[in-house]
Amino acid sequence: MSDEPIELRDALASFTALWSPRVVTRVNDYDVRIAKVEGDHVWHAHDDTDEFFLVIDGELSIALRDSGGERTVELPAGSVFVVPRGTEHRPSSPTGASILMFEPAGTLSVGDRHEAVPSHIDATTGHALG
């Protein structure tokens, strides 16, 4: 990790792959990841951790399934949302977005439980930036 400030615009400009998070830095045992997204991710759940989302640019929708049924939260640029551990969710963005996520290092991008992973989704624990 860098001991210099990291400009998120430059970090985001360094890659083009969608749904393929990059680890920007670490805080204790947590990754700070950025990703470019467009279209739909897969329904998935992280059994042991919450997942923090910050929308840097664009708009992100997160569909949620829990004991109360199904609902969708809409996140414009500048919004944050935490998906509680164990909650099935599916992020999506019809027009594209740049997001920042905060989760324990080693957390798989498609969760512990997920549906079939299509080729446009990178099942990863995050790639190095640069």
DSSP string, 13-31: HT---BT--EEEEEETTEE
Cα separation, 28 vs 98, whole angstroms: 24
Q: Which residue has the tokens 């990703």?
A: 35
CA terminus-to-terminus distance, the chain = 11
What residue ranges define each of the domains in the chain, with the CATH number in brackets?
Answer: 8-106 (2.60.120.10)
1 pLDDT band, cuts 50/70/90, is: low
Give the CA angle between residues 127, 64, 19 to the nearest 5°.
20
The answer to whether residue 19 scores a pLDDT higher than 70 is yes
Cβ atoms 24, 114 nearer than 8 A: no
What's the pTM value of the predicted model, to 2 decimals?
0.94
